[in-house]
Amino acid sequence: MEEEQEHIYTKDGTTDFRNKPAIKKETGTWKACPYILGNECCERLAYYGINTNLVNYLKFQLDQSSVVAINNVTNWSGTCYVTPLLGAFLADAYLGRYWTIACFSVIYVFGMTLLTVSASVYGLKPPCDENVCHPTGLQTAVFFIGLYLIALGTGGIKPCVSSFGADQFDDSDEAEKKKKSSFFNWFYFSINIGALIAASVLVWIQTNVGWGWGFGIPAVAMAMAVVTFFSGTRLYRSQRPGGSPLTRICQVLVASFRKFRAQVPRDKSLLYETVEQESAVKGSRKLDHTEQLCFFDKAAVETQSDRIKGSVNAWRLCPVTQVEELKSIIRLLPVWATGIIFSAVYSQMGTLFVLQGNTMDLHMTPSFEIPSASLSLFDTISVIFWVPVYDRVIVPFARKFTGHKNGFTQLQRIAIGLAISIFAMLAAGTLELVRLREVRKHHYYDLKHMPMSIFWQVPQYFIIGCAEVFTFIGQLEFFYEQAPDAMRSLCSALSLTTAALGNYLSTLLVNIVTEFSTRHGRPGWIPDNLNYGNLDSFFWLLAALSVLNLGLYLFVANWYTYKRPVVSAH
């Protein structure tokens, strides 16, 4: 009878919306996923509806120079990937993923509403005459308040949605666990459906109908995302928040440094661990001891002073599982760091690729022009093409050679994407080199659009889309799987901060090359009129950094040890 009861409920500690143990047949798996994927699709439509064309809004509506506009876009994008650290901490420690998504979604909707108002309401909308706008300080301030409210709102959604979706599959059930890898593929697919609509329909509306409509439609999409998410409440499985992960990390650090002279026993079974079957960390399975980073094992060496009146002092003695949590985080950091250059490459789609496209012939037909920012839809088309190809063709084919159930390990998948991204920068640099030769040959310097089709940009967008499918999805799955159970939102946020630092790195590189390349009265690599610049040199720089980054990544990946959860006795 007890065995039957065990098979009714999930074994990974998830609960239903009433905070009771989740029943397998009634909750989770693919039946809960459409609501999560629908939420993500609408939210990404809203995000990319702003991000894709933001550089043009800043340049032409807020009258900013190219360098200032590029830096404002990358700084905002970077902030959107830093705030997830706050949302992840609240989710893992106190609120849980469900309520964190719900609360921050409301903030997001407020930000979208303010952004729409700033672009459409008289007095807040910048006045324009003869294609030149003259925004006041107040109008610019209102726009940026709305923009950064969105950055705060996305901080509670980004780190939680992918992890919350993965929570719908029981790790201890082999049949469900196999489906989890496919979930990450289709999760990223849904992101790009939203991005596709943003890059095609919304960018056209912003350019040809008006920015008020262009921001208003994503605002409605975000409101729909909230409704969609709440619709699936009864079907969701949730992990209980496990208390502050930062406190547990600090406890291991303090305990290990307090006992830096203690000898770690050769027999690791003598290290302290709770005798109960469940882990001392709420919402987490026990973890097996690993040999790396053995200094921190000192925190689990029991001495006479570690107990106060029979109870354990958590700042002097930590169970092996808690020590292994810290080790898991430290092992993730080198892999995490190698994602920064890739994110800097990826961020060019929303900045320099758009400005490069602005200089080219935008005509699809003699009477129809495509906005330069809409070329990012080829990145999205690439992702939409490669996700099912990867899931249905590449994985079964690779499985025959590697023997791995998912075709490639997560680290191998990331490496392939890093290698592909190098070719995206080479394609962009080659195109710019050819474009500048035509400018100099025919003296097109002062032409707004030179007679060279913008569709020559398609290869660089398509290659980046292919790299995304390998690297970004690989990172999503890797950071979820390798994170301690009670730190999954935090580790998802950690993976997102590579995008933040990639954007900030792009800002730094732009500022550095502008400083050095504009000396002695030269126009520099990235002037307002790119026909006088050397944008190709910036792409070569990113390609070179990507090659160095790939070499470092291969070294780091070879060193990495995967975490080992303790198999449940029942």
Q: What is the pLDDT of residues 460-475, one digit of tens each?
A: 999 999 998 899 888 8
What is the C-alpha separation between 259 and 299, in angstroms, rounded?
Answer: 7
**In this predicted model, what pLDDT tens digit does every residue of 10-67 receive, in sequence order?**
776 788 888 888 888 888 788 888 888 888 888 888 888 888 888 888 888 888 888 8
Mean pLDDT on 336-352: 89
Is the predicted pLDDT of residue 306 greater than 50, yes or no? yes
User: pTM (2 decimals)?
Assistant: 0.75
Mean pLDDT on 333-342: 91
Q: Which residues contact 306 (CB under 8 A, 6 or more apart)?
A: 272, 312, 313, 316, 317
Q: What percent of the chain has pLDDT over 90?
A: 18
Mean pLDDT on 124-134: 82
The domains of the chain are located at 29-241+338-559, 245-326
Give the DSSP per-residue string, 227-252.
HHHHHTGGG--BPPP-S-HHHHHHHH
When mean pLDDT is compared over 6-20, 176-190, 337-351, the highest value belongs to: 337-351
Mean pLDDT on 451-456: 89
Q: Is 445 helix (H, G, I), strand (E, B) or coil?
A: coil
**In this predicted model, what pLDDT tens digit does every residue of 209-219 receive, in sequence order?**
888 899 999 89
Give the per-residue pLDDT at 121. Answer: 87
Contact between 73 and 194 under an 8 Å Cβ cutoff? The reply is no
Give the per-residue pLDDT at 570. Answer: 37
Give the per-residue pLDDT at 309. Answer: 62
Residue 99 corresponds to which amino acid? W
Q: What percent of the chain has pLDDT over 70?
A: 94
Indicate the DSSP class of residue 91. I
Nearest one of 220, 203, 200 to 211, comparing CA atoms: 203
Q: Is 15 helix (H, G, I), strand (E, B) or coil?
A: strand
Q: Could you say which of 3.40.50.10420, 1.10.3720.10, 1.20.1250.20, 1.20.58.340 is the CATH number of the domain covering 29-241+338-559?
A: 1.20.1250.20
